[in-house]
């Protein structure tokens, strides 16, 4: 029996914007958002210059905005963002393609560098599987650190290969929009770069 699986990047592919940035704006307000990014601008520049990793830069930002925040409060903000802001960021063409793939029997998986906390509910509502960055929780509080590796670049491939035996699939689709998706797209025999613009 022929089987198909499709891997979708989330930020910029399914959505029109980076949802981590949008979530920070939504939960903290634009003023604190801009203050935080002014303070952490050196880390962002260092990341762009490849002096520090994507993970280090992301952890610094998450710790600044959400470090020591109770998990229940954080998840409540994630759920509000998912209900009120996220639907406006979803590309209709991406939703249409996801449904098309589901209708032909493909297994559809979202693979995201963003934390799973505000994606999971949406993915569940769409009957999609999810592989995403996981945030560390200690004593029921956000630490600002990431469990394992940030789900970006080659880590996307590692996480996919841990979860799926790709040799079981005749067709492997991949959808992405950035250099961080190129490794995932190499797994596919059918790939699309920035397909929903």
What are the residue boundaries of the structural domains of the chain, listed by start?
4-193
Tell me the C-alpha to C-alpha distance, in Å, between residue 127 and each of 95, 109, 122, 170, 188: 12, 9, 9, 21, 21
pLDDT tens-digit profile of 53-99? Answer: 889 999 999 999 999 999 999 999 999 999 999 999 999 999 999 99
To the question of domain 4-193 being in CATH 2.60.120.10, the answer is: no
Q: Which of 42-56, 93-107, 140-154 has the lowest mean pLDDT?
A: 42-56
Look at residues 71, 82, 155 and name the one whose alpha carbon lies nearest to residue 119.
Answer: 82
Determine how many CB atoms are found less than 10 A away from the CB of residue 163.
12
Q: What mean pLDDT do residues 108-130 have?
A: 98
pLDDT for the residue numbered 94:
98
pTM of the predicted protein model: 0.94
Task: Report the alpha-carbon distance of residue 108 to residue 128 in Å, rounded.
Answer: 6
Task: Report the alpha-carbon distance of residue 190 to residue 95 in Å, rounded.
Answer: 18
């Amino acid at each position: 029996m022929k089987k198909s699986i499709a891997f979708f990047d989330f930020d910029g592919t399914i959505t029109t914007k980076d949802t981590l940035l949008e979530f920070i704006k939504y939960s903290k307000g634009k003023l604190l958002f801009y203050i935080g990014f002014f303070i952490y601008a050196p880390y962002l520049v260092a990341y762009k210059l490849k002096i520090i990793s994507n993970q280090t830069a992301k952890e610094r930002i998450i710790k600044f905005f959400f470090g020591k925040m109770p998990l229940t409060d954080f998840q409540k903000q994630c759920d509000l963002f998912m209900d009120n802001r996220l639907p406006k960021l979803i590309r209709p063409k991406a939703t249409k393609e996801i449904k098309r793939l589901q209708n032909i029997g493909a297994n559809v998986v979202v693979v995201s560098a963003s934390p799973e906390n505000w994606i999971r509910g949406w993915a569940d509502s769409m009957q999609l599987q999810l592989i995403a960055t996981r945030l560390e929780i200690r004593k029921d509080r956000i630490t600002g650190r990431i469990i394992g590796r940030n789900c970006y670049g080659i880590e996307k491939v590692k996480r996919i290969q841990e979860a799926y035996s790709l040799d079981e699939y005749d067709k492997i689709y991949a959808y992405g929009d950035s250099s961080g998706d190129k490794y995932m797209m190499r797994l596919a025999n059918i790939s699309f770069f920035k397909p929903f613009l």
